[in-house]
Amino acid sequence: MIKTILFKNRPAGKPSTSNFELITEDDPKPAEGEVLLKSLYISVDPYLRGRMRDQKSYIEPFKLNEPLESNVVAEVVESNNSNFQKGEFVSGMLKWKELQTSKGSGLNKVHKELAPLSAFLGVLGLTGLTAHLGLEKIGHPKEGETLVVSGAAGAVGSIVGQIGKIKGCRVIGIAGTDEKVEHIKQEFGFDVGINYNSTKDMKQAIAEACPGGVDVYFDNVGGEILDAVLQNVNKDARIINCGAISLYNETEVPMGPRPEGILIKNTVLMQGFLVRDHVKDFGSSLQQLGSWIKEGKLKYDETVVEGFDKLPEAFIGLFEGKNTGKMVVKI
Protein backbone atom coordinates (compact mmCIF):
# COMPACT_ATOMS: atom_id res chain seq x y z
CA MET A 1 0.00 0.00 0.00
CA ILE A 2 1.19 3.52 -0.76
CA LYS A 3 0.19 6.92 0.53
CA THR A 4 -1.51 9.61 -1.61
CA ILE A 5 -2.73 13.09 -0.72
CA LEU A 6 -6.04 14.20 -2.22
CA PHE A 7 -7.40 17.72 -2.64
CA LYS A 8 -10.46 17.52 -0.42
CA ASN A 9 -12.04 20.96 -0.57
CA ARG A 10 -11.21 24.45 -1.76
CA PRO A 11 -9.82 26.74 0.93
CA ALA A 12 -11.59 29.99 1.75
CA GLY A 13 -8.70 32.23 2.72
CA LYS A 14 -5.62 30.57 4.13
CA PRO A 15 -5.35 26.85 3.39
CA SER A 16 -5.64 24.46 6.33
CA THR A 17 -4.94 20.77 6.81
CA SER A 18 -8.68 20.10 6.37
CA ASN A 19 -8.31 20.91 2.66
CA PHE A 20 -6.24 17.75 2.25
CA GLU A 21 -6.87 14.06 2.80
CA LEU A 22 -4.22 11.40 3.22
CA ILE A 23 -5.34 8.01 1.89
CA THR A 24 -3.66 4.74 1.12
CA GLU A 25 -4.13 2.79 -2.06
CA ASP A 26 -2.74 -0.24 -3.83
CA ASP A 27 0.74 -0.17 -5.23
CA PRO A 28 0.65 0.99 -8.85
CA LYS A 29 1.99 -1.32 -11.58
CA PRO A 30 3.64 0.13 -14.67
CA ALA A 31 2.04 -0.93 -17.97
CA GLU A 32 3.95 -1.45 -21.21
CA GLY A 33 5.78 1.79 -22.09
CA GLU A 34 5.50 3.11 -18.54
CA VAL A 35 7.94 3.64 -15.69
CA LEU A 36 7.34 3.27 -11.97
CA LEU A 37 8.56 6.32 -10.07
CA LYS A 38 9.38 6.61 -6.40
CA SER A 39 9.02 10.18 -5.09
CA LEU A 40 12.17 11.40 -3.32
CA TYR A 41 11.59 15.14 -3.00
CA ILE A 42 8.30 16.98 -3.54
CA SER A 43 8.17 20.74 -4.05
CA VAL A 44 5.61 22.97 -2.32
CA ASP A 45 5.14 26.39 -3.92
CA PRO A 46 2.95 29.45 -3.30
CA TYR A 47 1.51 29.33 -6.85
CA LEU A 48 -0.25 26.05 -6.01
CA ARG A 49 -2.69 28.16 -3.98
CA GLY A 50 -3.89 29.62 -7.29
CA ARG A 51 -4.67 26.16 -8.61
CA MET A 52 -6.87 25.58 -5.57
CA ARG A 53 -9.34 28.20 -6.79
CA ASP A 54 -12.38 27.19 -8.78
CA GLN A 55 -12.01 29.77 -11.50
CA LYS A 56 -12.79 28.77 -15.02
CA SER A 57 -10.22 31.22 -16.25
CA TYR A 58 -7.45 29.77 -14.11
CA ILE A 59 -5.22 27.32 -15.90
CA GLU A 60 -5.77 23.79 -14.62
CA PRO A 61 -7.45 24.24 -11.25
CA PHE A 62 -6.99 21.17 -9.05
CA LYS A 63 -9.93 18.78 -9.11
CA LEU A 64 -11.55 17.80 -5.84
CA ASN A 65 -10.89 14.29 -4.52
CA GLU A 66 -7.95 13.82 -6.86
CA PRO A 67 -4.27 13.90 -5.90
CA LEU A 68 -2.52 17.25 -5.84
CA GLU A 69 0.53 17.67 -8.02
CA SER A 70 3.70 19.72 -8.06
CA ASN A 71 7.29 19.36 -9.13
CA VAL A 72 8.85 16.13 -7.90
CA VAL A 73 12.27 14.51 -8.06
CA ALA A 74 11.81 10.76 -8.35
CA GLU A 75 13.80 7.61 -8.89
CA VAL A 76 12.94 5.19 -11.66
CA VAL A 77 12.39 1.96 -9.72
CA GLU A 78 10.98 -0.07 -12.61
CA SER A 79 10.98 0.67 -16.34
CA ASN A 80 8.99 -0.65 -19.27
CA ASN A 81 10.08 2.36 -21.31
CA SER A 82 13.31 2.23 -23.28
CA ASN A 83 13.96 5.93 -22.66
CA PHE A 84 14.42 5.38 -18.93
CA GLN A 85 16.53 2.92 -16.99
CA LYS A 86 16.00 1.63 -13.50
CA GLY A 87 18.07 3.68 -11.06
CA GLU A 88 17.89 6.93 -13.04
CA PHE A 89 16.54 10.10 -11.46
CA VAL A 90 13.95 12.35 -13.09
CA SER A 91 11.99 15.52 -12.32
CA GLY A 92 8.60 16.60 -13.53
CA MET A 93 5.09 17.67 -12.64
CA LEU A 94 3.93 14.60 -10.69
CA LYS A 95 1.24 13.62 -8.24
CA TRP A 96 1.55 13.70 -4.47
CA LYS A 97 2.01 9.92 -4.21
CA GLU A 98 4.78 7.82 -2.79
CA LEU A 99 4.83 5.70 -5.95
CA GLN A 100 3.27 6.40 -9.34
CA THR A 101 3.46 5.35 -12.96
CA SER A 102 4.25 7.61 -15.89
CA LYS A 103 4.46 7.31 -19.67
CA GLY A 104 7.58 9.45 -19.48
CA SER A 105 6.38 12.56 -21.29
CA GLY A 106 7.30 15.75 -19.47
CA LEU A 107 9.97 14.04 -17.38
CA ASN A 108 13.47 15.52 -17.34
CA LYS A 109 16.50 13.49 -16.39
CA VAL A 110 18.31 14.73 -13.33
CA HIS A 111 22.10 14.63 -13.36
CA LYS A 112 22.85 14.11 -9.69
CA GLU A 113 26.56 14.72 -10.15
CA LEU A 114 25.82 18.45 -10.72
CA ALA A 115 24.05 19.19 -7.44
CA PRO A 116 22.10 17.49 -4.65
CA LEU A 117 18.81 16.04 -5.87
CA SER A 118 16.65 18.59 -4.08
CA ALA A 119 18.35 21.45 -5.97
CA PHE A 120 16.51 20.31 -9.10
CA LEU A 121 13.29 21.50 -7.46
CA GLY A 122 14.90 24.84 -6.67
CA VAL A 123 17.88 26.69 -8.04
CA LEU A 124 18.26 24.22 -10.94
CA GLY A 125 14.53 23.85 -11.41
CA LEU A 126 11.54 26.12 -11.91
CA THR A 127 12.59 28.33 -9.00
CA GLY A 128 15.94 29.27 -10.51
CA LEU A 129 14.41 29.56 -13.97
CA THR A 130 11.71 31.89 -12.66
CA ALA A 131 14.23 34.13 -10.94
CA HIS A 132 16.63 34.28 -13.86
CA LEU A 133 14.22 34.52 -16.79
CA GLY A 134 11.78 36.86 -15.02
CA LEU A 135 14.55 39.27 -14.07
CA GLU A 136 16.20 39.18 -17.49
CA LYS A 137 13.17 39.19 -19.77
CA ILE A 138 11.16 41.91 -18.04
CA GLY A 139 13.59 43.62 -15.67
CA HIS A 140 16.59 44.13 -17.98
CA PRO A 141 18.77 45.10 -14.99
CA LYS A 142 21.72 47.29 -15.89
CA GLU A 143 24.94 47.91 -14.00
CA GLY A 144 24.52 50.64 -11.41
CA GLU A 145 20.73 50.37 -11.26
CA THR A 146 18.76 49.76 -8.09
CA LEU A 147 16.89 46.47 -7.81
CA VAL A 148 14.30 45.83 -5.10
CA VAL A 149 13.16 42.26 -4.40
CA SER A 150 10.27 41.23 -2.17
CA GLY A 151 10.06 37.77 -0.67
CA ALA A 152 13.81 38.23 -0.67
CA ALA A 153 14.59 35.31 1.65
CA GLY A 154 12.30 33.03 -0.33
CA ALA A 155 13.28 30.56 -2.99
CA VAL A 156 12.89 32.88 -5.99
CA GLY A 157 13.76 36.14 -4.25
CA SER A 158 17.11 35.01 -2.87
CA ILE A 159 18.22 33.96 -6.35
CA VAL A 160 16.92 37.18 -7.94
CA GLY A 161 18.95 39.26 -5.51
CA GLN A 162 22.16 37.34 -6.20
CA ILE A 163 21.70 37.63 -9.96
CA GLY A 164 21.13 41.36 -9.43
CA LYS A 165 24.50 41.56 -7.68
CA ILE A 166 26.14 39.56 -10.50
CA LYS A 167 24.69 42.15 -12.93
CA GLY A 168 26.19 45.02 -10.93
CA CYS A 169 23.00 46.35 -9.33
CA ARG A 170 22.51 47.78 -5.88
CA VAL A 171 20.10 45.23 -4.36
CA ILE A 172 17.52 45.83 -1.64
CA GLY A 173 15.64 42.87 -0.20
CA ILE A 174 12.33 42.91 1.66
CA ALA A 175 11.63 40.04 4.07
CA GLY A 176 9.51 39.33 7.12
CA THR A 177 11.91 38.84 10.05
CA ASP A 178 15.17 40.35 11.27
CA GLU A 179 16.80 36.93 10.91
CA LYS A 180 15.84 36.77 7.25
CA VAL A 181 17.06 40.31 6.67
CA GLU A 182 20.38 39.47 8.29
CA HIS A 183 20.59 36.25 6.31
CA ILE A 184 20.08 37.80 2.85
CA LYS A 185 22.77 40.36 3.61
CA GLN A 186 25.31 37.91 5.09
CA GLU A 187 24.67 34.92 2.90
CA PHE A 188 23.46 36.37 -0.40
CA GLY A 189 25.17 39.75 -0.54
CA PHE A 190 22.08 42.00 -0.57
CA ASP A 191 23.16 45.60 0.09
CA VAL A 192 20.19 46.46 2.30
CA GLY A 193 17.39 44.47 3.90
CA ILE A 194 14.03 45.74 5.14
CA ASN A 195 11.87 43.82 7.62
CA TYR A 196 8.36 44.75 6.51
CA ASN A 197 6.86 43.39 9.72
CA SER A 198 8.75 45.81 11.93
CA THR A 199 8.55 48.78 9.52
CA LYS A 200 5.72 51.23 9.95
CA ASP A 201 6.13 53.24 6.78
CA MET A 202 7.33 51.07 3.91
CA LYS A 203 7.24 53.97 1.44
CA GLN A 204 9.66 55.87 3.65
CA ALA A 205 11.84 52.82 4.33
CA ILE A 206 12.22 52.12 0.62
CA ALA A 207 12.97 55.79 -0.05
CA GLU A 208 15.75 55.66 2.55
CA ALA A 209 17.13 52.37 1.22
CA CYS A 210 17.01 53.66 -2.37
CA PRO A 211 18.16 57.29 -2.35
CA GLY A 212 18.43 57.12 -6.15
CA GLY A 213 14.97 55.59 -6.57
CA VAL A 214 13.95 52.12 -7.76
CA ASP A 215 14.78 51.00 -11.30
CA VAL A 216 13.69 47.37 -11.18
CA TYR A 217 11.26 45.71 -8.77
CA PHE A 218 10.91 41.94 -8.71
CA ASP A 219 7.57 41.48 -6.99
CA ASN A 220 6.81 38.18 -5.29
CA VAL A 221 4.16 39.52 -2.93
CA GLY A 222 1.91 42.20 -4.46
CA GLY A 223 -0.32 44.29 -2.23
CA GLU A 224 0.93 47.05 0.04
CA ILE A 225 4.60 46.41 -0.58
CA LEU A 226 4.01 46.90 -4.31
CA ASP A 227 2.18 50.14 -3.47
CA ALA A 228 5.15 51.34 -1.43
CA VAL A 229 7.63 50.52 -4.18
CA LEU A 230 5.47 52.30 -6.77
CA GLN A 231 5.79 55.45 -4.64
CA ASN A 232 9.55 55.26 -5.21
CA VAL A 233 9.96 54.25 -8.82
CA ASN A 234 12.24 56.05 -11.22
CA LYS A 235 11.45 57.07 -14.76
CA ASP A 236 11.20 53.97 -17.00
CA ALA A 237 11.24 51.54 -14.05
CA ARG A 238 10.39 47.90 -14.73
CA ILE A 239 8.22 45.81 -12.41
CA ILE A 240 8.14 42.04 -12.73
CA ASN A 241 4.82 40.78 -11.35
CA CYS A 242 5.96 37.29 -10.51
CA GLY A 243 3.86 36.52 -7.47
CA ALA A 244 1.28 38.02 -5.18
CA ILE A 245 1.51 35.82 -2.09
CA SER A 246 0.00 38.61 0.02
CA LEU A 247 -3.23 38.27 -1.99
CA TYR A 248 -3.50 34.54 -2.65
CA ASN A 249 -5.62 33.88 0.41
CA GLU A 250 -7.93 36.89 0.00
CA THR A 251 -11.57 35.93 -0.33
CA GLU A 252 -12.75 39.31 -1.64
CA VAL A 253 -11.27 41.30 -4.51
CA PRO A 254 -8.36 43.12 -2.85
CA MET A 255 -8.45 46.89 -3.25
CA GLY A 256 -5.55 49.29 -3.36
CA PRO A 257 -4.42 52.66 -4.66
CA ARG A 258 -4.75 52.79 -8.43
CA PRO A 259 -1.36 52.57 -10.11
CA GLU A 260 -2.18 54.13 -13.49
CA GLY A 261 -1.23 57.67 -12.48
CA ILE A 262 2.27 56.62 -11.42
CA LEU A 263 2.66 54.35 -14.43
CA ILE A 264 1.99 57.29 -16.74
CA LYS A 265 3.98 59.90 -14.86
CA ASN A 266 7.11 57.75 -14.72
CA THR A 267 6.44 55.67 -17.86
CA VAL A 268 6.71 52.54 -15.74
CA LEU A 269 6.35 49.04 -17.15
CA MET A 270 4.53 46.36 -15.11
CA GLN A 271 4.33 42.89 -16.57
CA GLY A 272 3.14 39.54 -15.30
CA PHE A 273 5.58 36.66 -15.62
CA LEU A 274 4.91 32.92 -15.82
CA VAL A 275 7.96 30.76 -16.26
CA ARG A 276 6.08 28.12 -18.26
CA ASP A 277 5.83 30.57 -21.18
CA HIS A 278 9.61 30.43 -21.62
CA VAL A 279 10.34 26.73 -22.05
CA LYS A 280 12.53 27.42 -25.07
CA ASP A 281 14.94 29.36 -22.84
CA PHE A 282 15.16 26.75 -20.07
CA GLY A 283 18.25 25.04 -21.47
CA SER A 284 20.42 28.13 -21.74
CA SER A 285 19.16 29.47 -18.43
CA LEU A 286 19.95 26.25 -16.54
CA GLN A 287 23.41 26.28 -18.08
CA GLN A 288 23.95 29.82 -16.84
CA LEU A 289 22.62 29.02 -13.36
CA GLY A 290 24.85 25.95 -13.20
CA SER A 291 27.93 28.00 -14.12
CA TRP A 292 27.19 30.59 -11.47
CA ILE A 293 26.80 27.85 -8.85
CA LYS A 294 30.11 26.30 -9.91
CA GLU A 295 31.84 29.69 -9.77
CA GLY A 296 30.49 30.17 -6.25
CA LYS A 297 28.50 33.25 -7.29
CA LEU A 298 25.10 31.73 -6.64
CA LYS A 299 24.15 30.14 -3.33
CA TYR A 300 20.83 28.74 -2.32
CA ASP A 301 18.89 27.83 0.78
CA GLU A 302 16.52 25.00 1.32
CA THR A 303 14.04 24.30 4.01
CA VAL A 304 13.62 20.54 4.03
CA VAL A 305 10.63 19.05 5.81
CA GLU A 306 10.82 15.29 6.28
CA GLY A 307 7.96 12.87 5.69
CA PHE A 308 5.30 12.44 3.03
CA ASP A 309 2.56 13.11 5.58
CA LYS A 310 3.96 16.59 6.19
CA LEU A 311 3.21 17.87 2.67
CA PRO A 312 0.07 19.84 3.62
CA GLU A 313 1.79 21.36 6.64
CA ALA A 314 4.84 22.35 4.60
CA PHE A 315 2.60 23.98 1.99
CA ILE A 316 0.62 25.90 4.62
CA GLY A 317 3.92 26.99 6.17
CA LEU A 318 4.71 28.97 3.02
CA PHE A 319 1.98 31.42 3.98
CA GLU A 320 3.38 31.74 7.49
CA GLY A 321 6.90 32.57 6.35
CA LYS A 322 8.23 29.27 7.73
CA ASN A 323 10.66 28.72 4.88
CA THR A 324 14.00 30.25 4.14
CA GLY A 325 14.66 29.59 0.50
CA LYS A 326 13.06 26.73 -1.33
CA MET A 327 10.66 24.59 0.70
CA VAL A 328 10.78 20.91 -0.22
CA VAL A 329 9.48 17.76 1.41
CA LYS A 330 11.82 14.79 1.61
CA ILE A 331 9.95 11.55 1.30
Least distance CB 129 / a copy of itself (angstroms): 15
Report if residue 257 touches a copy of itself, rule: CB under 8 A: yes
Report if residue 274 touches a copy of itself, rule: CB under 8 A: yes
Least distance CB 92 / a copy of itself (angstroms): 23
List the one residue from 259, 282, 317, 330 that touches a copy of itself (CB under 8 A): 259
- 187 vs 227, beta carbon nearer a copy of itself: 227
- 193 vs 243, beta carbon nearer a copy of itself: 243
Stretch that binds a copy of itself, among 36-44, 194-202, 263-271, 317-325 (CB under 8 A): 263-271
Report if residue 321 touches a copy of itself, rule: CB under 8 A: no
Q: Element (H or E) spanning 40, and its range?
A: strand 35-43
CA 310 to chain centre: 19
Residues 6+ apart with CB under 8 A from 255: none
List the one residue from 266, 281, 317, 321 that touches a copy of itself (CB under 8 A): 266
Report if residue 216 touches a copy of itself, rule: CB under 8 A: no
Q: What's phi and psi for 182, nearest 5 deg?
A: -65, -40
User: Which among 330, 286, 228 has a CA at the least distance from the CA of 110?
Assistant: 286
Report if residue 133 touches a copy of itself, rule: CB under 8 A: no
Read off the DSSP letter of residue 16: -
Establish how many alpha carbons lie within 13 A of residue 188's alpha carbon, considering only the half-sphere containing its beta carbon.
31
- 1 vs 59, beta carbon nearer a copy of itself: 59
Task: List Cα–Cα distances, 86 to 5, 79, 125, 179, in angstroms.
Answer: 25, 6, 22, 43
Q: How many residues contact a copy of itself, by CB under 8 A? A: 36
Report if residue 260 touches a copy of itself, rule: CB under 8 A: yes
Report if residue 268 touches a copy of itself, rule: CB under 8 A: yes
Q: Are 80 and 32 in contact (CB under 8 A)?
A: yes
Read off the DSSP letter of residue 145: -
Q: Please compute Rg for the chain using Cα positions.
A: 20
Report if residue 273 touches a copy of itself, rule: CB under 8 A: yes
50-69: contacts with a copy of itself (CB under 8 A) = 50, 57-59
CA dist 272 and 274 (Å) reads 7
Pairing of strands 69-79, 89-95: antiparallel
User: Could you tell me the sign of the dihedral formed by the alpha carbons of 112, 113, 119, 123, in that order?
Assistant: negative
Report if residue 289 touches a copy of itself, rule: CB under 8 A: no
Binding mask 11-50 for a copy of itself (x = CB under 8 A): ---------------------------------------x
Read off the DSSP letter of residue 195: E
- 33 vs 223, beta carbon nearer a copy of itself: 223
- 41 vs 273, beta carbon nearer a copy of itself: 273
CA dist 137 and 277 (Å) reads 11
Q: Are 219 and 240 in contact (CB under 8 A)?
A: yes
Question: Would you tell me which residues interact with a copy of itself (CB under 8 A)?
Answer: 50, 57-59, 219, 222-223, 226, 241-244, 247, 253-274, 277
